[in-house]
Amino acid sequence: MEEEQKEKSFLREIGETVVFVICVVGLAFLIHRFLGQQVAVDGSSMLNTLQDGEHLVIEKVSYYKHDPERFDIIVFSPFEDEKDLYYVKRVIGLPGETVQIIDSDIYINGTKIEENFGREKIKDPGLAKDPITLGDGEFFVLGDNRNNSEDSRFEAVGKVKEDSIMGKACLRIWPLNRFGGVK
In the chain, beta strands by DSSP E: 36-40, 55-59, 73-76, 87-93, 98-102, 105-108, 111-112, 132-133, 138-142, 160-161, 165-174, 180-181
pLDDT score for 133: 97
What pLDDT score does 64 carry? 83
pLDDT score of 54: 94
Active site residue 45: yes
Q: How far is CA 122 from the centre of its chain?
A: 23
Q: Return the pLDDT at 18.
A: 75
Instruction: Give the pLDDT score at 23.
Output: 61
What is the predicted pLDDT for the residue at 181?
Answer: 86
Q: List, in sequence order, every residue forming a beta bridge with 111; answer none if it has no partner.
A: 108
For the chain, domains (ranges, CATH) are 38-181 (2.10.109.10)
The C-alpha torsion from 122 through 101 and 105 to 110, rounded to 10°, is: -170
pLDDT in tens, 94-147: 999 999 999 999 999 999 999 888 878 999 999 999 999 999 999 999 999 999
Per-residue model confidence as pLDDT tens for the chain (183 residues): 677 776 667 777 777 777 777 766 666 665 555 567 888 888 899 988 998 999 998 988 888 888 999 999 999 988 777 777 899 999 999 999 999 999 999 999 999 999 888 878 999 999 999 999 999 999 999 999 999 999 999 999 999 999 999 999 998 988 989 888 888
Question: Which among 97, 45, 48, 43 is positioned nearest to 69, based on CA atoms?
Answer: 97
Question: Which one of 60, 77, 89, 152 is the catalytic residue?
Answer: 89
Q: What is the pLDDT of residue 27?
A: 60
89 is catalytic: yes
Catalytic residue among 6, 8, 44, 45, which? 45
- Return the closest-CA partner of residue 96 out of 106, 109, 107, 105: 109
The amino acid at residue 45 is S
